[in-house]
Every structure is written in structure tokens, then in C-alpha cells.
A and B are shown apart, each in its own frame.
Chain A
Amino acid sequence: MRFTKQQIVSGMKRAGVVPLFTHDNADDAQQVLEASYRGGIRIFEFTNRRENSFEVFSHLLTVAKKYPDLMLGIGTIMDGATTKKFLDAGADFIISPIIKLEMAEVCNKYEALWIPGCATLTEIVTAKDHGAEIIKLFPASLLGPGFVSSIMPVVPGLQLMITGGVEPNEKNLTQWFKAGATCVGMGSQLFTKEILMQKNWTLLQQTVTECLDIATRVRK
């Protein structure tokens, strides 16, 4: 394990934004990772949504060795066996859109950060009771910032990562952070289809920098 759980949690808090991305082409995935890094990203989530995601992720882990301060996690993990497979490969953290307790067990054994996905307060508290330090709220835009501000007073110290439909603009990010979010996850809103189709890595880098700036500004 290259990073401790605490290092990753504080990295997420500091940046306020965790990009999430999947691609079945290893070269393009590498370009996106490196452009994100140049744009200021130090925590990156690749998602396990394609048949060859394990191979592409393994390639990205090799690339990440060049960047000693880059934390690279894997998302869209659904069970314990897959969790183990990616931790063995060297994933820095594990993210899931669901809460599945066997994943917590595996992560705890590896002392790896487990970020389960929850959509009700019961799921959130269950996740917390099983050791989740950060909990992903998914699909966030359907629950809305009002959901977050309603539950924050009920469970003090909750650290939420907001994912699903979060937009990289001042208005949307302000709403989420005001409600009490620790960080946001951003995928297609950040890495737009257009950018990917044009392979416009310069624009991607600029978009990422801009998004990180907004996240810093609205939390001041």
C-alpha cells in the first residue's frame, strides 16, 4: 500500500474533487490520467465498468509510479472477490456504488480505504458502523443537497463523497459543499464526450484546473 487511509482521506478533503473515469483503451486512459495530474489532480478513480477494466487499470498503476503523490483508486466494485483482485494489483482505495459488507471485510484486512455507495440514512449508518470513513452518496443529483443537509446534523462527523450528476460549476458545487459534502466525484460532466472524442488533453487539463479552483473558492 503506497498511502495510508488517512493520507487518502485528507487528500480528498483537500482537493474537494475526485474525478472518475473509465475507458477500454489503455493509451487514452493514460492520457486522461496524466492530463488530470497536470491539471492538479492527486486523487483519481478509475471505474471497473468495461470487460478489460482490470488490464487498463493495471496499466494506469504502472503509469502512476511516475507520480509518487498520485493516489489511484478503483470504483464500481461490486463484491469481495473483485475488491481483493484490485487490491492485490495495487489499488490505493476501493469505491462502490453499493454497500456490501464482504467488501468492508476485505478492505479492512488490507487496511485499505473502503468507500461504499449509499442512498438512505440507514445504509449510511450501516456503512459507518462497518468502518467506512468516507461514504459515497449515489445517485447524488436525485437525492439532492437537501438530503445531505438533512442528515448531517443527525450523524455528526459524517464525511460524504457526492457522486452522480455533480456539475463542475460554481452554483452546483456551492450547493453541495454548503450542505456539508466533504468532496464530490465527477465523471462525464468533467470528462465530456466531446473532449474524449477530440482527444483534447489540453482542454481536459484546463477543465480540471478550473474545477479544482472552483471547489477551492466555494469552500473558502
Chain B
Amino acid sequence: MATYSSDAIQQAMRSSGMIPVFYHPDVDTAKAVLDACYKGGVRVFEFTNRGENAFEVFVQLLKHAEQYPDLMMGIGTIMNGEVTQKFCDAGAHFIVSPILKSEMATVCHKNNKLWIPGCATLTEIVTAKDLGAKVIKIFPGSVLGPGFVSSIMPVVPGLQLMPTGGVEPTEANLSAWFKAGVVCVGMGSQLISKEIIETKNWAKLEQGVKDALAIIKAIKK
């Protein structure tokens, strides 16, 4: 199984500017979504631990992802150290959380995995940074808004922020975030819509991913 350094994952996040965030209890659906995202250009993917059999689905997805040697697979919605360890053991490349929990930092550092905690205030962000977070998730992104990011960037230089939650795959929304100074956005239901999943319209998903990545590329120029 491939492993990636924390630096390699950060580099991939910066260069694509977007990671899809997705959960589904059905393995085949999850595989189809991953395939479409990969075909659309995604190289960093976050599956989220939000359902009963998320662990089993994630393990299957990891196996499935072995055909894509340049695809980095992380797990999100992790809430404590024990679950962090479990997913590290299973082979997750990085760990994402909607909260800041220091025991997760300890486990990630021990396992040499990139830890991406979720923060909602500058105090939380600086605490996360002091605990070794190289990338910090801003959650819930759309509630805090791009204005939050532009207010705090001058105060703590060098922050790498990834807003997640309500980020839209539109030119207006994405350019507001990137102008504010984020390195990457996480996108879930706005990108991988219920409708796409229900109709299994994987071609549409692939195109949506391509479009979003193209918009980001153009903004970052």
C-alpha cells in the first residue's frame, strides 16, 4: 500500500486546490464516486466516517484506490484518538476532523500522518498550529465566510487553511475563498449532489469535478 509524506499531501492539496468530501454506506456507489472524481482530476480524496459501516467501506475503497498510485485517500469526521489509530492502521493517508482534539494530534504524529483538525476561531487555529497542524480545516466554512479568513491571515502568517461546509463549485464562491487566502477547499454535497448519486450520473460528476478544478486553476493564476 502506498504511503505519502505529509509534505507530499500538502503539496497535492495546494496544487489541486480542492478535495471532495464524501460518505456513502454502499461500497459500489462509493467506488463509482471515487472513480468519477479521479477521472475528473482529483488526486486527494476524503471519505467521511459518518455511518455505521464507514470503516468497512473505507477499507474497500483503499483497496480499490490501489489502481491509482497517485491518489491520496484520507478519512474525515474523526472525533477521537482511538478512531484515528484505527484508520491509521487501516492505511488512511491523512486524518481530517471537524473539531480540534489534541489526542488526535498525538496519534497522528506517532503514526506519521497528516492531521487536519477543524477550527472555528483564531484561538482554536493557533492552538492547532501549536500542536503541529500543517493544514487546518475551517468549519463550518460558509458560516464563517471568506471574511473570517482574510481577517486572520495577516495575524498568523503562513497559515494553510481549508474551508469546508457550504463551499460552492461556482466562480464567485471559489474566487472569494481563494482571494481570502485559503490553500484548498473541501467540497461535499455541493459537488457530489444527491441527484447525481440517485441517478448514478457519474459522467455528470466527472464533468462537475473537472469544471470546479478548472475554475480554481483559473482563479489561482
Q: What is the interface of chain A, defined by CB distance below 8 A to chain B? A: 49, 76, 78, 97-100, 117-120, 123, 138-139, 141-142, 164-165
Contact = CB atoms under 8 A, between A and B. Distances in A.
A130 to B, nearest CB: 13
Kindly list the 4 A-B residue pairs having the minimum CB-CB distance in the complex, ordered from nearest. Answer: A139-B151, A119-B121, A98-B123, A98-B126
Contact of B122 (A49, A138, A141, A165): A138
Most chain A CB atoms below 10 A, which of B123, B126, B156: B123
A120 B144 CA distance: 12
B155 interface: yes
Contact of B121 (A49, A100, A120): A120
Given A76-B155, A97-B155, A142 B123 contact: no
Interface of B: 120-123, 126-127, 144-145, 147-148, 151-152, 154-156
- The SS class assigned to the A binding surface is loop
Given A97-B155, A139-B152, A123 B123 contact: yes
Given A97-B122, A98-B126, A142-B145, A49 B154 contact: yes
- The SS class assigned to the B binding surface is helix
B151 A164 contact: yes
Given A98-B126, A119-B121, A142 B147 contact: yes
Given A49-B155, A76-B155, A139-B152, A119 B147 contact: no
Contact of A142 (B126, B144, B154, B156): B144
A119 B123 contact: yes
6 contacts: A78-B126, A97-B155, A117-B123, A119-B120, A119-B123, A142-B144
A97 B151 CA distance: 11
A74 B196 CA distance: 53
Contact of A118 (B123, B126, B144): B123
Contacts of A165: 147, 151
Contacts of B154: 49
Contacts of B123: 98-100, 117-119, 123
B177 to A, nearest CB: 15
A142 B145 CA distance: 8
A98 B122 contact: yes
Contacts of A97: 122, 152, 155
Given A76-B155, A97-B155, A142-B151, 4 more contacts: A98-B127, A100-B123, A119-B121, A119-B122
